[in-house]
Structure 1
């Protein structure tokens, strides 16, 4: 009984979190069916709702391209199947073999995506095995894909029509906040000389790639939504700037992961971490948080706040490097040197993410670290 209750709670939680895609796919497939049957008058509108589901099954930000690929796949499959049927006849073993071989082979040869390859093969196979021999079916089949793909693209934009950048802003704040919290946990583990806590932080650091992937997906989704939204297309430049920033976030996550690994080693040494190191890491965490605020402010069009947060991130990052650089005197242990190096690398990636000349950033960071100018 308890197992059933747990299962129902889990199922309800999944539906609560994922109800929007369910409604989106159901309505899109139904609308595609209605348009194809009532407005176009197609007697067998199977591929209109099927195309809608195929397109909506893709990640946000890739649906426009997938809609085009579905239509191209349909055209390729129909063309190949029609030619082979005329040569070998319908519904024979050799026809099926030849159609599938040629369709998939040609799609792979031209470098088509998996979606295009599958859609071309399914279209060709449907034409050979199921579709009636009437020639009027071929344009119907193509129109099916146009209707289904078009309805899916429109449906995917309805949720973000009012504010296409809102999901990206929320994801950016969450990603930067999670990375800053991770640096805080590494700091606490070093301050408490707690090896298990440092190992837990390292495990979390290894999972941060998922957060970066979600952020990059939202960048693609926002770009797609803005390209389809004529009134808001002027904001596309912001998304392109954020796209460049997310690459630096990816580098920063990798640096923090190396930092966490060195923290595990340092926490195993008999002597505790020096207080200057924890102070440097706190400044680094603050730099990450403020950099996230700068990115969010830039996306929302608040240029004044974005500049202010960028300056604060710059100051916090350089403070972290300057404080960590003071630990390099007196022959520190190798794990401590590695952490200082990752503080420097993370600071560079953060400052690149909030904007600025690359050479100037490297010069100011190295100056804060105490390195001689190049």
Structure 2
């Protein structure tokens, strides 16, 4: 192949990977936009409420900082950790007070802006280690100094406005969520769905002997990990709200299972990465791997069933049945006539199958027991970190 051909081939590979990344981003972006519609309405209503309280109840004519603090503290997602909301609110109040004080001491001007940012940031770092706290303090101090002549309320009133907006946001962050499990379920279901896409890409590449397709799968894998990381943050913030709100503590077992799912999904994605990496070597040396591709395609089907179970929060009976059948097919003897590389791929698929069985609610011990011809009890020991007991919800069929 000449230089022009190699250049064209590189461009084609990059275009394919870009297409994979863009399709994943579009799917995730649509889910994110739909999920943010209600939180944006809530944050906008909170800003209006904070302004109304400061204007009509407290009597401030132009309570600029009240709606700003409420909007910034609540944000535009449901991922509202009460500690984070309180941190942002406290930072807003500290920033306003710092700006007011420094205006009295040094006035307003370009160099004063720099000074107020330094003082506000260092003061915030002294009070709290949170980055958001420091950022909010600096921004609000700068806004006070930069717009001092445009803000007509008194210095104490501005601090009260910021405090009022922060309190409105904090109260709503704790009281508004009536279902703290729906968003975590949606994110974890999305990870299962995108994992199904990932596994089908791997299966297609192994079936056709396409090493470029396996490189595309790695692009998909990175995107799935990003969604999973954010999903774990969503589960954590929902758990924090549930612990603070007595009426929501009944949801803690569900959130614990979702956290367990997230840990197991991370483990499975790590194993799939190993499958992709080894698959490239096997395909490059020995060509297509139809038997292993069939196993990976079945694993993709299990991931799709798990997505439906998590989304609807129903017992994953079909996913467990298919995963058990997959385990029975993952015997090294199935590819003993093939190269040792193909046998190695089946060994990796055995670990993926254990992860899938655990995602249906089984303990690691029960999942490993479903594997045939286990030659070495240490086969899946490398994936032993995390919650390996049975699910507190789906261990047994209801």
- TM-score, structure 2 normalization: 0.69
The correspondence for 1:209, drawn from 213, 225, 232, is 225
The residue aligned with 1:344 is 350
Contact 2:211 2:283 in 1 (8 A): yes
**Are residues 85 and 27 of structure 1, via their aligned partners in 2, closer, same or farther at CA, if it must alter by over 3 Å?**
closer
Structure 2, gaps ≥5 residues long: 1-25, 379-398
Tell me if 1:148 matches 2:165: yes
- CA displacement, residues 10-65 of structure 1 (integer Å, 9 cap, x when unaligned): 9xx99x85755654443332222111101111234111111122123364323523
Match of 2:374 in 1: 370
1:223 is the counterpart of 2:268: no
Q: 1:179 aligns with which of 190, 195, 198?
A: 195
Number of residue pairs matched by the alignment: 345
- Is 1:319 matched with 2:328? yes
Give me the whole-angstrom Cα distance separating, in 2, the residues matched to 1:182 and 1:96: 50
CA distance in 2, matches of 1:31, 1:124: 23
**Structure 1 Cα separation of the partners of residues 193 and 67 of structure 2:** 40
Q: Give the CA deviation at 1:250.
A: 1.7
Change in CA separation of 1:190 and 1:92 when aligned onto 2, cut-off 3 Å: closer
Residues 147-168 of structure 1 show CA distances to partners (whole Å, capped at 9, x for unaligned) of 323444566689853x442333
Q: Distance between the aligned counterparts of 2:337 and 2:126, measured in 1?
A: 62
Residues 313, 137 of structure 1: alpha-carbon distance in 2 compared, 3 angstrom cutoff:
farther
Q: Name the counterpart of 2:20.
A: none
CA distance in 2, matches of 1:287, 1:114: 41
Alignment-derived partner of residue 65 in structure 2: 47
Q: 1:313 to 1:110 in 2, by over 3 A?
A: farther
Q: Rate the CA distance shift 1:286–1:310 in 2: closer, same or farther, 3 A.
A: closer
Contact 2:43 2:76 in 1 (8 A): no
Structure 1 residue 117 displacement after superposition: 0.7
Contact kept? 1:186, 1:201, Cα under 8 Å: yes
Over aligned residue pairs, what C-alpha RMSD do you find?
3.9
Name the residue aligned to 2:85: 67
SS, match of residue 349 in structure 2: helix
Q: Distance in 1 between matches of 2:266 and 2:338?
A: 31
SS in structure 1 at match of 2:209: coil
Question: Structure 1, unaligned stretches of length 5 or more?
Answer: 1-9
